[in-house]
Structures are given as C-alpha cells and as structure tokens.
Structure 1
C-alpha cells in the first residue's frame, strides 16, 4: 500500500473507523431480488469508444444495481474493475486521492509519491500512473452527487480524458456533475443513462413482480402498480414488500400512492431531508401543480425566483419528469408524497396554493385546470360558477368523464342550486357509465321545480336514455310528448336530440325521414363546437341505414370517415366502431374487425348500448368460430348472456341463445339448436324486434332461426313458402341485407327439395347482389351446404366459360377464394340435413340396383336387422317414407345413378 493510502488507513484505525475504508472500496451486495437490465448494459457496450458512463437518476431508480451489473459484464469480458463510494468528506482532495489510490491498487495500479504532503505532486503522479497503465480497466464511482469541490471535479475530469484506450469511468449520481460533459458528448466519448431509461418497462414490471418477487397478481393489478410507480424500482420494491406480507392486494394497490407509509418514509428520509431549506419549501409549495413553469410557480409562491429553483431541481435530477416546451412535472409518487406533506403540515397553505393556481389559469384562459384547482381547494362556489359557464363547451369537446368526476365530487347541497349542471351530469353519465344511473338522476331533476328550458332539456335527453335501456316503445311515447313543443335548448342538446329523433325514426322503419333528420343535425351544428359529434353521429345513423338497405360499401366509407372524427374511447366512436367492425366482418375482414372490437368491448359492457353490446359479442363469437376456436366462441356468448342478466337487457339474453342455436345448426347439432331456440323465445323481445329496425337483429331473428332449424331438420319443402314470404317482405321494406340472407337460405331449401337448377338460379341472384356490395360472411356463415353450392357455382362457371353472367367483381373473387379455405364436400352430400355414412351410401346403391334385404346382408356380411336399421336411417336423412321414394330422391340429388 502506498504511503498516502496507508496514512489514511492508519487515521481511520486510530478513530475506530477502519470499517469505513472497506465500505467505500468494496461494492455493495447486489439486491436479493435484483432485476437484470441486459438492454442497458448492451447500450453501454455498444459504444466502445466511450470513456465516461454517467448513470444519473433520483434516489431509488436502480443506479447502483445497474453499476453492479455493468461491473459483472466487464469482468466477464476480461476488464478489471475498481470501486469507490464517495461521500461529503471526499470533497477534500487529499482524502479523495487517498481512497482512489486504495481502490486502484485492487486492479494493479500502484504508485509511490515523491513528495509526502505535496497534494499537487501526488495528483500528477497518480494521473501519470493511471494514463500509463497498460491494461484497460473500469473505475466505478458511486454517489457522485456528493462531490462539489472544483479541484476534485477537475482532477477526475483529467482522469477521464487520460485513461488508457478501452477503459471506462462509470459514475452513479443523482445530479448532473460539472465535468465538462458537453465536450464528451460532442466527441461521442460518453454514454448517458438517465431516469427515463432506468424506469422499468411494463414487461419488466410484470417480470419483477411475478417472477422475481413471486407475487400472484392479475394483469390489471400489475398495470396499475406500473402506472402509479412510473417504473420507479424502489417504489415497486416497497410495494412488493407490503404485498408479500399478505392482506387484500386489491385494497393495497387501490390506495398505493406517495402517502403510503413505506414510500413516504423513504422519500422523507432519503430525498426531502437532504435538500436545502429553500428547495424543500419550493417543493412543497409547488406540489399542487400538474405542470411546472417559472411563471406558474411564481404565481403560486408569490415570488420571482422560480426559474432559478427549477434549474437547480433539474440539475439535481430530483424526480422531475420532462414534459414539453420547457415544462416539467414531478414523478407521480413524489408529487403524492409532497402534497400529503403540505396538506397535513399546512392545510391552509395547501388550499391557498390551489386558489392561486386557479386564478393564474383563469388569466391564461385555461378554464379546465382553473376549475380543477378550485375543486382541489374545496372552493365549490367558485368552481360551480366557472363550470356553469363552461359546461356546454366541455360537452361539445366530449369531456364527459371529466364532468362526471367534478360534478360527483361537489356536495349535493351545493349542486342543488345548479339544476342545469345536474342535467349536464345526467348527459355525462349516459355517455360514460351507461343509462341506468343517468335515468335515476334525471328523475330526481324532473321532480324539482324547473323552468321551461330545463324541462325541455329533460325531454331532450330522455329518448336517448330510453333507447340505451332498450325501452323502445317508451322512446316513441316520449317523442310524441315532444311533438309540437318549442324546445329551447343549447346547440349541443339540440344536435343530440335531432340525432335521437333520426335514430328513432330509423327504428320506426321510416328510412327516408331518418336521413332527413341526420342532415338536419349536421346543419344545426355546422358552425359550432358540437359539429364533430353531431357529424359523427349523423354518419352513424346513415351508415346504419346503408347497412340495413344493403349498401355495404357506402356504409364502410361513412363509418371509416366518422371513426376518425374523435378519440377512440368517445361514446360516439363506440357507436361507430362497433357498426364498423360488423361491416368489416361482413366483408370478411375478420382481423380488422377483431382488432376494433377488442378496443371497444370493455366500453360496450360499461355503457351497455343494447345493439352495440349484442353485435360486438356476436361478431367476436363468429370470428372465433371462423378461426376454429370453439371454446372462445362459446365463452363470448356466455358473457353476453351474463351481461344481459346483470344489466336487465332481455334482448341481449335472447340474442346470446339465438346465436348459440345458429352455430349449432351450422355444426349439424339439431337437438342442441332446438333446445337453445326454445330458450331464446321471449315474446316481448321478439315482438319488439318484429316492429322495429334494431341493428343487432337486422338479420338474425327468432323467425329466421326457426326456418333455418326446419330446413336443416329435413323439412325443406315445408319452409319454402315461409322463406319466400320473408324474402318478399324484406325487399318491400327495403331491408336488402335481410333479403340477401333469405335468398341464400331459399337457395339451400330449393336444393334440399331436389330442385338444384332453381337453387342455383336463386344463389346466382344472391351473388349478383354480393358482387356489387361485398357481402361475404352472409354466405360463409351458413355452413357446409352453402359453401358446397358456392364451389359448384364457381366451378361450373369456370368450366363452361359463363363467368360473364356475373359482373366482374373483386368482392366476388374474394368470396370464391374464401370457399377454397374449406374442405371440399360433395354437393349431393351437403344437400342433406345430415350426410350419409359410407355404409349407408353402399346400402343405398345396392337398393337402387334392386337388391333385397337378404341379398344386401349377404353382400355386406351383416345381418338383415342391421340392413333394416341402415334403411330407416337413410329414409330419415332423405326425408322419404319408402324404399321407392328413397331411390327416387337419391337419384334426383345425384347420390346414385
């Protein structure tokens, strides 16, 4: 050991502090549950020319852990490492040099000072020894924020400049050190790893909690912990320690914040207590702010030095998160902690800070944060005055969730003086949490003494809420009450009311009038902030009509346009998004439809718009079926049925059962389909469906499923008249999408009634319609018989050169390709309700050749009783009653010659 290091060691020994030397020169133990960060280590090693690696972040972000992992990575690559943990006392250059010399001896760098006590000479000699060392090495210096002495900083900067090629200096610091970093950056001699890179990603958070800490948490619970900690390693560690002790994980995560005991203790002891008094005061005063700018901070503090203090915080890297344009915010848990400290220690200062922030935002014309701060200050009188002026604009901007949060936080006694805001709350509840709560509040508002505009406003909102509750008859009753009345309401309410009228008129089967109302809604709000939502909902109404009337391509254009008018989770987009998914599915764009529905499904279950709820689940179930995932298909339908029960939506329950019956039929499960169809019978539901145009039941109805069941149970002849009547009624009502489905089933029935030529003509008419509009799933969803008919149709046209009978169409070609995805099934087999087995087909051929039962038994080496069993089964499948009828029918179907 050199004299300088030896002298320091002897001094510590005399004072009983020999262990300090070991603590400073030996790296700390790796955390028991450390998280490997290979991507960060690779970021360092990817820059071989870097001399300095700066790991900078606030407390608890894993700086030291990463440095230990880098040390291990360097060691595996053959690069020796020296470790030094510094503290405030190391601002003395002599002391710093002594400890550094001791650290470097561990990797073979030894020097002998020529002049004892000459610090300058010692520094030069040590620097020369470092620069001349032949083997590259890594020097790790942790807690470097403690070093502020210019002499120490200058000397270390020279070391960085002069270390041998391939060597690294790795600094761990909470602050940005004054080492002339700009020069190193410009020459690409530096790698910086900051808090943004040290934060755990969502995947790392999941791996840490589930694999390293062995906690049984749901994906949602992990997501919420990730959001609240913002990937802060110590925050996750402290949370995991509490969760490890047992108790209700859901309750703990719901209440986890900067006020949580372990987090608060850590931040109080290791962060706040280490700051100067001016910085501590600044942190507390500005903790109420969601953004930090010099002007705003000055206004809240009543001072003019915020710019300098913010610069000091940024330099210190003290839990500041960069936003944009020079703005910052505090880390979420740190902000929670600071606000809790201020609220408990100086409650009046807490409220005053919020009031000052509110007034500053008012002067800036930013009313949303102004109202938010007034609410936090519990200045409800002021907040309600501002909110009464801003509510209409906020509704135009679709800020429904924000309105609900604010208005539900206001004491009921204060809100009672603002009945107009109670009506706003009812609107917002309808668009966010569904109609049940909104209708309850609306009844309370109606029970009070209201002036004319408010009474009219209640009448305006009611049709929308009743429609969302699937109380369609009451929608029309309310609309009749509104007829002839001059409804003096704001433009937003007027626009939504007109859309409600348009939708109700469509449901009442008056399609031309519905389009006129949609146009009126557009015109009414063309030059207002409500224009976007009215335009979107108008497009939704017209696109729904397009789909009902068979204009699939026009519907897709309208829906794609409307879908881009608002953000993904606006309720207007929920209406549009689900119908768009259904239209995409109809065009066999299953992947695109599924992506949309996975976005909107949670919202459909929350808001519970009946048609959207039913359509989303039914389409997702069919997509799962098309993929071959029967378990998922049934699961989605079970969830629809459960939601229908919970939300008191009997149509949802009935439709879930109806869809099960339909899918059982496509699989040939006649008993299962019959049972589900019986369970789906709800007279009130199907009576309403029969009277109105309800999008989720535009095609699928109890009557259609009943006809499908009869058809595939061997009663083709019996259903032909009903199918014809259904087709004619659909065409007369301009419901051409429904007519297409009837025409497809009519073609199947004709085939099974041994009328193959008529069946193909009917199928051709359906295909001509599909060729123009792109209806594909209407065919494919009907199962093997229709698929076989399509294959034969396309094959016969290709072979006979008759393709020109149908117009050239990319949609038709898409349908032809789609039929190739399915395993080929002979048309004569697909025409049967249940295909013949190979043994039954052999018996039928022998029967057609005139063989007796005894002869067939001898040829097939079976008993006469077994032959009779096969013959009975053949008669059931062919729908015949005798041997002669069975042979005749089989010949018509092409089963035998």
Structure 2
C-alpha cells in the first residue's frame, strides 16, 4: 500500500476548494455530520423477535452482516434493535457510506471521527506508514482507551458502496482485527467483497439475510391491521398482497401509505409509488443491458447460470447471469437444493414482463429443447407450450408416457390439452389415456371418464390393464375405497401392466388400505411402490410414496414418525437435482404442515403453508385444498371466523375455477363450515350442513386428502346433539361410531371419541377420563383434538389441569386453554443452563439437527455443537435423548 498522505483527511472534491484550510478541517467538519444515528420511522412494524436476535449477536469482536436487496428495511431493523435492546445510542457509531468514501484516507477519517480517535489519526499521519498501519494504530489506541464491559457498536451502512480494492482491504482488516471493545454491523445490499469463513470458524460472524427481513404472512396482516379494521382492505386482499410481494416490506409500506392517502385503490403492481420504487431504487443503478437480462429471466419460472450461459441461448448477454444479479442485491432467491437455480420475486417478475422483449417465442423454444436434452419432460413440455410451437408440443406429448406425467405440472398439461388438435386426440388411444390421467390428477374425474369411455372395444381390449389402473385411481379420488381396491387388484393381475402403471396402482392400494385401517397391508403396498419408483428413477413418484407412508403413520396416530419421514423425504427431494418434482414435493410439505398443526405448532405450519401453497397453486395441485382447509382451521382456532369463512370461499372459487368435481371438495368445505358454525354457537346452521353431508357419509366415501373426515363428521354430529341438550342421542351416536370402526379407528378420531366420553360421563368419571386422554395424547403431542373441542372442554379442563404433571404437552394445552400448571419442586443444577443454551435445548427437544439449530439461531455449527456438549455436561448425560428426558424432569422444557 502507498503511505498515508496527510492530504488533509479527505482527498476529495472539497480539498481543492479549501486550500487555505490546514489539513482539511472543513472536510472533517463535514464528515462529522455523517456520523449520526438514523431517525426511527413512525408506524413501522414491531418485530421484537428479529430485533432481539440482532441485538443478541452484538458481542465483543462480533461481526454482523445484514445482507439484502433494496427495500427490506435493513437500516430500520438495526436501528430499532440497537435503540430497544442496547443501553444507549451513545454507545453506537453509525456511518452511512456512499460512493465518495472509496478513498482510503477518507474512509479512515470517517472511522477516526466516529470512534473519537482524531488525535490518534493526527499522530499516525507523521509515522509514514501505510493505510494498513494507520488502521492498526487506530484499533490499538481504541483498545487502550476502552474501559467498558459492553462493547461499542460500529455500524457501517451501505457497505456495497465500497468498490475500491484498497478500501475493501481496510474493511477486511477492520473486521479481522476488531478489538474486544468493539462489535461491527455491516449493512449491505450485496455480499461482502472478501471471505468470511475464518470469522465464522472463530464464532464471530453472524449473517441475517432476506429470509429474515421479509414479512411473514401474519406480520403482513399485522402491518395492515388498521386498514383491515377500517374496512379499507379485506383479509383476502391482504393475503393476495402477501402472495404477490412475498413479504417485501418497502412495496407493502408504499402501498399502505398510498391507500391511506387516496380514495381510489389500485393493485399493488399498478401503484405509482411501487412502480417508482421498482424502476428507480431497485433497477435504477443497473445498465440497460442488465435490465434487459432481468426481463429475460422473468420469462421463466426458474433461471440458472448453466441455462443462460449456454452459447446458443438467443439474445442473452452472458456477462450478467442470475447468480450475478443475486450477488448485487436483486431480489432473486436461490432455490434450495437446486444448485445455481434462482427465482425472481413475484412482484418484480410481473413488472419486468412489460414490455415484452422481442424474440420471446424463439427463446422459449430453445429452453424447451434445452430441458428436453436433459430428459426433464415436464419443463420441456411447459416451455414448448408457451412458445406456441404446436409441432414441438405434439412431438413431446406423443413421446411422453403416463409415468412422466404423474406428479408433475398439472397446470401446463391441462393448458396443453386445450392446444392439442381435436383430431389428434380422437385418433390416438394412447393420448386419450394420458390425458385421462391428467384430468384425474387434477380432480376432474368426470372428464377423465369421458375420454376413456369414448374408446372402441378393440382399443379397450388392447389397453385393458392400463384402463383398470386408471379406473382404480379415479375411484380412489372419488373416495370409493372398496371399488378402488377391487379395480386395483384387477389391474395388477394382468401381465401386460407396465412397471409405471404398477407403481401408481400400488399407491392407490396403499392409500385405500390405509383409509380402511388395514395399515400393515397398506405399508406393504407402499414398499412395493417405493421400490418400483427407485428402480425407474422416478423421483416425483418416490416423493409421493413417502407422502403415502407418512399418511399411513398419520392414520395410526404416529405423528413423530410421520414428521421424521416427511422431513427425510423433503431433504431427499431437495438434493435431487435431476428433476424438479413438483407435486410430490408439495404434497410432502402439505403433509408436514398438517402434522405440525396436529401438534399445535401453528407458527411453523404457517411458514410452511406460505411456500407450499404458492407451489401448489402454480402447478395446479388439488392438494391446495388441504392448505386452504388448514388455514380455515387455524383461523377458527384463533376465533377469526370471518377470515375462516373467507378462506372457505376462496377454496370454493379455486376449485370451481379449476373445474374440479364437486364430489372432491364439497364435503370438505361443508364440514369446515359446520365446524365454524358450531364453534360460534350457530347450531341450526351446523345441523343443516351435516344433513347436507349425509349422502356422502352414507355412501361410505373417504376423501384421499382427509381420510379421517368421516369419523370427525360423526363426532361433529355428537357435538351438535350435546349442544342441543340431546345427551342420549349423543351417547347412541358415540356407540355407533365405536361399533363401525372397531379396532381400526384412526388415532385422531379415537382421541375425539374419548374426549366426548369425558364430556358425556356420569358418576364423576369425567375428570379421570380426561386425564387419561391427556396422558395418551401427550405421547405424540396430539394437540388438535383439544383445539377443536376447546369450547366444550374448557370447564372440565379447568378442573383437571392443576393435577397434570408439567410437560411440553401440558404447557401446549395451557396455551390453548389459557391455563398454567402448578409449579412443582425442581432439582437445582450445580451449574445453571444459560439463556442461549436453553434456546438450543428447546430446539434439540423439537428434533432439529445441529445444522437446523444453527440456521434457526443464526449461529455457526461449531457453536451449536459447543452448546450441546455443555448442556450434556451440566445435565450429566451422554446423548441428546437423555438430555431431553433429564431437562423435562427438571422442568427446563
């Protein structure tokens, strides 16, 4: 490095204008005005948990990177975290950097002024050392002056402005040699220009990214609470805002301000202030070539470096790839487990689509061929369709098989159905069968039957086995369990059935047998399906087989095993790079959200639903009905009945728009309405809804997505009788439920039945029964039946609750009923568990891996392992399992 020139502190445009001032004192005075704490905005959303996490990371010598694109509220979050959780703003030095700070002398002067080291800087000027030497002297002097236990906080905002290698080298030296009296916060739109792994290994580096800053769905509703209360917005509108923006704070804040100030409400994308934000703040610093590159990325659902760096990609500038856009802060998120594949923020993507870049059809045709060369059939088919190349579309459709179609993008396939020439479909029995599968997967059972019913006798005989397999799939979708099993056995008995068709038929058998309570037979059928999927290399179907296995465990009431299966399946799907398994992966996520809801882990379920609902909607997966049903149940549990019915209406509109057969969704939605009306005390409405469902119940149909629904409907009828004071009728219905199910009653239904037993018990047995139900439900942390019947159970639970032993399950019940377990005597540890160790212990008890704990707490893997070792030592145990048991004995969990 060059020696530090006493060029009077600044070496900038002010120097030449002030030659009469010795050592640039005017410039120093101007720079002092830059060292100030930012003003805290009014009306911003309180995010205490995130702010606490940032504040907790401010330890001696720690370096916190706040990284995210424009408009994610990074500065506000850090300012609020320091203002709320630190002793005083006086202990914080805040420097907002800009492009003029790319002079090493100016950068060092800013640091010296901020840290009150101007005199040290003056003395360093005469040393003749390099910039690095001067910085080292400043840090040593700061360490000597410090007398505080709590470190001073240095915040460097807009770090992305530093582009001069000499300045970035000084920044690297600063964070590497940070003294114990200082902690540094770096706020940047882009990644740091130097490596940080040494800091991470030293447990001194914490990174907060876009995923931390984006609003969650519940935070979005809280942000618009006033407009909801004043009826300027509806809950459906807020939910759509969240879906479109993906929780991007700045556009939401601008839109909220615009609505509050104007009588005319436009869509988020049409908002003038949001458009200015996207054009000027997000894209304003890009060249025209870079903006055009983003427009081409917006044409695709996902984009990758390998696709766009292909030499034959039409009209694409290879010097600006998706990863490069993400690195400079464009809201382009990496798709987990997909290598260098990225997805643009939905709001920015829609805005970039207008105006359309010429040559789009040629690009989409090339993308289709690119995927086709890699045997990624669904993507190839989708982009062929979007390109409008009918010849290419028909070629792909004719070559594809039902095995490749299953579990993929139903939306594109149904759109393709409209584009296919009618004569081609009529003349090709194979295409008829393929598209009958597509309609069946999409819940359009009557249209699926219409296609295969049009086959002549010769074709029906030629494709007999496949038609039986298809009919079994349709019957299972309609909930006709017995008929589906008979037809599946018929299909499997025929030798000409292909391996792929056997795979699907075994899945049908597994699902139907599980719905009947024949779990051992269901598991065997599922094993055969999984083996066939692995042999065929069909990862989408393999994911669906894991979904089926988890459904079996869920039917048995083994929630913890089901969760383990689903997480393992998702990890496998995430790291499978050969094909993007849409519906299979989405179903795994939906089932995991269902398990989490059953266990009362609503916050985790809410986060998971936000992502998988979007995927289900894009691929037109009828599993979206499960996501919407869970939303209804969560809203009802929170007493938000208006929002619950809004979700019912949205589900109904979606199913109608998708032309799904009413037999698929109507029973589910009517059952949800009955549950909400019963919770509100509207007994007549609940009774009428149950009467409307009677034909479905009497037909013995069991929905695939909701196999426990018939039993829960029976329980609803018992509850309506109880609410109307017809105790004898309730007891009779309860007896009929037991008789019908026998030993094959699903665990969730069984808990409901036993809770109803407690409510109907005589001779003082009610409390004993309830206590027994709590003990059995605690084994799998089965909270949902208690949530469903919270209103009826409250008086009885208030009597029983004080006698329950404290555990994670009873604490969860306490939150449901707003009750507390009486404090019990607790052993005292020789060395107490610290707050940070207690946080790690809680996540260990939830079954998270060390890496998942590190991600959750924003700490390194090495730190998690250190905490785990200390926890085991303090509890005098040798394993995670022993630690959980001992911690519960001590009342720590």
Give distance in 1, aligned partners of 2:546 and 2:102: 61
Match of 1:378 in 2: 388
Give distance in 2, aligned partners of 1:542 and 1:275: 58
Give distance in 2, aligned partners of 1:770 and 1:540: 19
Q: Given the alignment, which residue of 19, 24, 47 partners 2:34? A: 24
- 2:53 maps to 1:42: yes
Match of 1:225 in 2: 241
1:360 positional shift: 0.7
Match of 1:533 in 2: 504
1:297 positional shift: 1.0
Match of 1:132 in 2: 141
Give distance in 2, aligned partners of 1:268 and 1:521: 58
In structure 1, runs of 5+ residues without a counterpart are: 446-452, 458-481, 548-553, 586-590, 674-707, 713-736, 745-765, 796-819, 824-897
Match of 2:214 in 1: 199
Match of 1:892 in 2: none
Q: Given the alignment, which residue of 26, 31, 43 partners 1:33? A: 43
1:142 positional shift: 1.5
Matches within 5 A, 1:248-647: 252=267, 256=268, 262-276=273-287, 279-299=290-310, 301=313, 306=318, 309=321, 312-323=324-335, 324=337, 326-333=339-346, 336-337=349-350, 339-341=352-354, 344=355, 346-348=357-359, 350-390=360-400, 392-397=402-407, 400-408=410-418, 428-429=438-439, 431-434=441-444, 438-439=446-447, 455-456=454-455, 486-489=460-463, 491-497=465-471, 517-524=487-494, 527-539=498-510, 555-558=518-521, 606=655, 607=660, 610=663, 614=667, 631=681, 636-639=686-689
Give distance in 1, aligned partners of 2:714 and 2:46: 52
Per-residue CA shift, 1:296-319, capped at 9, x if unaligned?
112363599958845544542433
Report if the CA contact (8 A) 1:144-1:172 is conserved.
yes
Match of 1:681 in 2: none
Match of 1:750 in 2: none
Give distance in 1, aligned partners of 2:440 and 2:271: 35
**CA 22–384 in structure 1, closer or farther in 2 if over 3 Å, else same:** farther
- 2:97 maps to 1:82: no
Q: Given the alignment, which residue of 157, 163, 169 partners 1:148? A: 163
**CA 72–32 in structure 1, closer or farther in 2 if over 3 Å, else same:** same
The TM-score normalised by the length of structure 1 is 0.56
Match of 1:756 in 2: none
Report if the CA contact (8 A) 1:578-1:612 is conserved.
no
Q: Given the alignment, which residue of 73, 76, 79 partners 1:65? A: 76
In structure 2, runs of 5+ residues without a counterpart are: 1-5, 20-25, 531-539, 559-593, 600-624, 631-647, 703-710, 770-792, 797-893
Q: Given the alignment, which residue of 206, 223, 226 partners 1:208? A: 223
Match of 1:467 in 2: none
Report if the CA contact (8 A) 1:238-1:262 is conserved.
yes
Q: Over aligned residue pairs, what C-alpha RMSD do you find?
A: 6.3
- 2:196 maps to 1:187: no
1:741 positional shift: 4.5
SS of the counterpart of 2:66? strand
Report if the CA contact (8 A) 2:121-2:138 is conserved.
no
Report if the CA contact (8 A) 1:176-1:316 is conserved.
yes
Give distance in 2, aligned partners of 1:140 and 1:398: 47
Per-residue CA shift, 1:836-866, capped at 9, x if unaligned?
xxxxxxxxxxxxxxxxxxxxxxxxxxxxxxx
Give distance in 2, aligned partners of 1:593 and 1:73: 33
Report if the CA contact (8 A) 1:264-1:337 is conserved.
no
Report if the CA contact (8 A) 1:140-1:169 is conserved.
yes
Which of the pair has more CA radius of gyration?
A: 1
**CA 519–416 in structure 1, closer or farther in 2 if over 3 Å, else same:** closer
1:388 positional shift: 3.7
Between 133-142 and 593-602, the greater mean CA deviation after superposition: 593-602
Q: How many residues align?
A: 645
Per-residue CA shift, 1:334-389, capped at 9, x if unaligned?
66157415xx25232x2222121111111111111112112222334422432243
SS of the counterpart of 1:26? coil
State the structure with bigger RCO (CA 8 A, min sep 6), 1 or 2.
2
1:412 positional shift: 8.6
1:61 positional shift: 1.8
1:329 positional shift: 0.7
Give distance in 2, aligned partners of 1:151 and 1:9: 19
Report if the CA contact (8 A) 1:88-1:146 is conserved.
yes
Match of 1:173 in 2: 188
**CA 497–154 in structure 1, closer or farther in 2 if over 3 Å, else same:** closer
Give distance in 2, aligned partners of 1:114 and 1:198: 43
Give distance in 1, aligned partners of 2:475 and 2:286: 63
Match of 1:685 in 2: none
1:171 positional shift: 1.8
